[in-house]
Amino acid sequence: MQATFPLGRPAGVRVGAHWSVLLIMALLAELLAQSLLPEAVPGQSALVYWATGIAGAVVFLASLLAHELSHALVARRRGVAVDRITLWLFGGSTEMSGELPSPGTAFAVAVAGPLASLLAGGAFLGLGLLLPAAVPAVVVVALTWLGWTNLVLAVFNLLPGAPLDGGRVLQAIIWKLTGDKRRAQAAAARSGSVLGLLLAGAGLVELLWFGSFAGLWLVGIGWFLGFSARAEFAAGPAREVLGRIRLGQVMTPHPVTAPGWFTVQAFVEQAAACRQRTFPVVSFDGRPVGVVSLAALARVPEQARTSTRVEDVCVKPPLCLVAGPDVPLTTVLSRTGARPGQDLVLVVENGVLAGVVSPGDIARTLELAVLGTEARRPTV
């Protein structure tokens, strides 16, 4: 999601908010200050209504954050890497870069959020019941509103369709029952599509039949849900294809190599005739030594280029990745950096260099996967 502003790092998790959060906050503050609070406790000044309304909206945002943080912390505790939390128009999302390893973990991560919302809802309602004598009546109304809103949030999120939490719970259960993660994913996405359609339909009825503009909100949420579910459904097969691909299938075989024993000067003259910017470096007996880029060669001072060997300036393992042809592409995907000279994976078979996997090869593989097909090992 673009255009987010940072909100700090509670418990070490990066949190950002999309600008649309400001819109929802303004709408909630207005709802409290202009209608809910004056109707429940008449006769107060506008300042009191607005101050309570804005505070209520801010606390609501905090409880939304608590919901997402619960997902994030449970994920991290179970060893799944969490990238960040983004708050936006329809709530929040927790982005995880790690794969959920088991149905049990998937279930725990999914229910953590709604559980936090349920607890927050119960706590606010409890405070609303216990505090009336001690605090102004408008605060009690705001607390009660916060309580019910959090309970609604918990229940709504438990609706059984991805990408809602309920959809993730459903996915974890199907995964557990069938042992098939992809099938569970597809089922949860499909039920998210149906749910989105139902919500949008209900919103339309509310809008057209009853003339209620709250229906528009439901149409928006339904549309968003259906849209995300379809996107997830489309990504499913691509992910499945990717999971099967081995380095040997996607590598460029017999790449132009840099002889490690050459001086930088001697190799530069040879490199000028190639279209490559990065080269695998091999030793005299054909063993792969590392990776060198034109940029790295350019950093060697001119007077040293006749005395420095290519092998001395190349990036060596573990900084450069070396793997066998049967290693799945997905295991190196997350480890290839964008840094020049380190973005070439050396594919080694029987001790000699069989090929290289470049960012171009990876892009081609991803595009073929989206097209529903698989890169094949080139025939030479």
Query: What pairs with residue 245 in β-bridges?
Result: none
Binding status of residue 165 toward Zn ion by CB under 5 A: yes
Q: Which is nearer to Zn ion, 113 or 160 (CB)?
A: 113
The distance of closest approach from Cβ of residue 166 to Zn ion in the complex, given in angstroms and rounded to an integer, is 9
The distance of closest approach from Cβ of residue 95 to Zn ion in the complex, given in angstroms and rounded to an integer, is 12
Count of beta carbons in the 10 Å neighbourhood of residue 182: 14
For the segment 213-252, give every residue that binds Zn ion (CB under 5 A). Answer: none
For the segment 100-139, give every residue that binds Zn ion (CB under 5 A). Answer: 113
Q: What are the start-end ranges of the E strands in the chain?
A: 4-6, 14-18, 82-88, 91-96, 252-253, 258-259, 278-282, 288-293, 322-323, 345-349, 352-357
| Whether the Cβ atoms of residue 344 and residue 280 lie closer than 8 Å to each other | yes
Structure tokens at 210: 């009853």
Q: Which is nearer to Zn ion, 67 or 181 (CB)?
A: 67
Measured CA to CA, the distance from residue 47 to residue 33 in angstroms comes to: 9
The distance of closest approach from Cβ of residue 118 to Zn ion in the complex, given in angstroms and rounded to an integer, is 12
Q: Which is nearer to Zn ion, 165 or 206 (CB)?
A: 165
Q: Which is nearer to Zn ion, 139 or 173 (CB)?
A: 173
Which helix H or strand E contains 232, and what residues bound it? helix 214-244
The distance of closest approach from Cβ of residue 364 to Zn ion in the complex, given in angstroms and rounded to an integer, is 36
For the chain, the C-alpha Rg in angstroms (whole number) is 28
From the annotation, which residues make up the binding site? Answer: 67, 71, 165
Structure tokens at 265: 């000067």
Which residue in the shown chain puts its C-beta closest to Zn ion? 113
Termini Cα distance of the chain: 43
Nearest to 255 by CA among 229, 275, 240, 272: 275
Sheet holding 4-6, edge to edge: 4-6, 14-18, 82-88, 91-96
The distance of closest approach from Cβ of residue 121 to Zn ion in the complex, given in angstroms and rounded to an integer, is 14
| Whether the Cβ atoms of residue 52 and residue 142 lie closer than 8 Å to each other | yes
DSSP character for 378?
Answer: P
Residues known to be catalytic: 68
| Whether the Cβ atoms of residue 342 and residue 320 lie closer than 8 Å to each other | yes
Structure tokens at 142: 């705001």
Q: Which is nearer to Zn ion, 111 or 368 (CB)?
A: 111
From the annotation, which residues make up the binding site for Zn(2+)? Answer: 67, 71, 165
Structure tokens at 259: 């002889």
Listed ranges 158-166, 210-218, 289-297, 312-320: which one lies at the site for Zn ion (CB under 5 A): 158-166
For the segment 10-29, give every residue that binds Zn ion (CB under 5 A). Answer: none
Q: Which is nearer to Zn ion, 117 or 358 (CB)?
A: 117
Measured CA to CA, the distance from residue 2 to residue 360 in angstroms comes to: 26
Amino acid letter for position 240: E
Helix (H, G, I), strand (E, B) or coil at 96: strand
Q: Which is nearer to Zn ion, 167 or 290 (CB)?
A: 167
The distance of closest approach from Cβ of residue 340 to Zn ion in the complex, given in angstroms and rounded to an integer, is 39
Structure tokens at 33: 């200050």
For the segment 269-328, give every residue that binds Zn ion (CB under 5 A). Answer: none
Count the residues of the shown chain that bind Zn ion, applying the rule CB under 5 A.
2
The distance of closest approach from Cβ of residue 165 to Zn ion in the complex, given in angstroms and rounded to an integer, is 4
Binding site for Zn ion (CB under 5 A): 113, 165
